[in-house]
Amino acid sequence: MDHILQTSIILNGVSVTRAIPARQHLVDFLREEMGLTGSHVGCEHGVCGACTIRVDGKIVRGCLMLAVQANGCKVDTIEGLSDSGELADLQRAFHEHNALQCGFCTPGMLMAAQDLVGTRPQATRDEIRDHLSGNYCRCTGYHAIVDAVEEVLISRRGGKK
């Protein structure tokens, strides 16, 4: 029975194969083995959302998935989405609305926000709050975050409220 498993993932578009200990969760693998420290480790039990990443197109908790479970999957992190420009308007809106203070929650917040903006373009403010309810900002900057996401939703809809 294997404690270390050969694991292949498509990480931000690049094929990666590594021998990974079964006990290592995905966000630790990304940070410690791949040097992708944009995904943050907060609570390590699925409550805070700081480790939010995308696996096969869906947002997941990076601390609640073993890296070996991602074998054969497409994994996208904040670094990939930032470099590709997919998040550019959200990042700009966060900056302009002062929607980050210490910045610890910001990568997870952006991943969750991009999921909403991509899947539910008609979302209301209440729906934004509901969608981001699994991402904690301990600076409590929620109002500005919701403002930023709402602005992007409106602008991606072509400026219509």
The span from the CA of 24 to the CA of 93, in Å, is 34
The span from the CA of 60 to the CA of 102, in Å, is 23
Report the nearest approach of another protein to the CB of residue 108 (Å). Answer: 9
Tokens of 104: 């610890």
Decide whether 43 or 98 has the Cβ nearer to another protein. Answer: 43
Decide whether 92 or 115 has the Cβ nearer to another protein. Answer: 115
Exposure string of 126-142, with b = 16+ CB inside 10 Å and e = fewer, is: eebeebbeebbbeeebb
Decide whether 24 or 92 has the Cβ nearer to another protein. Answer: 24
Decide whether 4 or 98 has the Cβ nearer to another protein. Answer: 4
Chain residues binding another protein by CB under 8 A are 1-3, 5, 21-25, 28, 44-46, 49, 52, 58-61, 63-66, 68-69, 71, 112, 115, 130-131, 133-135
Residue 75 burial (CB count, 10 A)? 26
What DSSP character marks residue 25? B
Report the nearest approach of another protein to the CB of residue 62 (Å). Answer: 9
